[in-house]
């Protein structure tokens, strides 16, 4: 069966399988069997990447809570406030040297 699957598989899908095998340091045959098994389990359980009702309700409640945050200074302004103007540091009194002193060369090796 492995030869048939490998000969007839879409090249893009095969590359994805190879990446999974390489990431997990598995052989190609082991990876194919694992992915086939997981796919069958997923189909049998009817999972299609959707939330069940309790998860969907919890997500909706969280979104509603975030949308209900009043417009006040602080948390509700995250991501909405313009960046402050660039601050230029003041020079130290009595220091007329360069803004950044030269550092000595560090010997290599």
Is residue 56 scored above 80 in pLDDT? yes
Task: Tell me the angle at which helices 11-24 and 28-45 cross, rounded to the nearest 10 degrees.
Answer: 110
pLDDT tens profile 57-78: 899 999 888 887 776 666 666 7
Domain ranges for the chain, please list them: 1-68
pLDDT at 1: 55
CA angle 61, 66, 69 (to 5 degrees): 125
List pLDDT tens digits, range 18-48: 999 999 999 988 998 999 999 888 887 765 5
**Is the separation of the CB atoms in 34 and 26 below 8 Å?**
yes
Where are any strands of DSSP class E within 27-81? none
**Rounded mean pLDDT of the chain?**
78
């Amino acid at each position: 069966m492995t030869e048939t699957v490998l000969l007839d598989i879409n090249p893009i899908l095969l590359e994805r399988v190879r990446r999974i095998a390489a990431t997990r340091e598995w052989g190609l045959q082991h990876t194919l069997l694992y992915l086939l098994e997981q796919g069958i389990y997923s189909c049998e359980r009817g999972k299609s990447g959707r939330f069940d009702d309790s998860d969907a309700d919890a997500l909706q409640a969280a979104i509603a809570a975030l949308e209900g945050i009043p417009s006040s200074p602080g948390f509700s302004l995250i991501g909405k406030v313009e960046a402050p103007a660039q601050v230029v540091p003041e020079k130290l009194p009595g220091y007329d040297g360069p803004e950044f002193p030269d550092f000595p060369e560090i010997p290599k090796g």
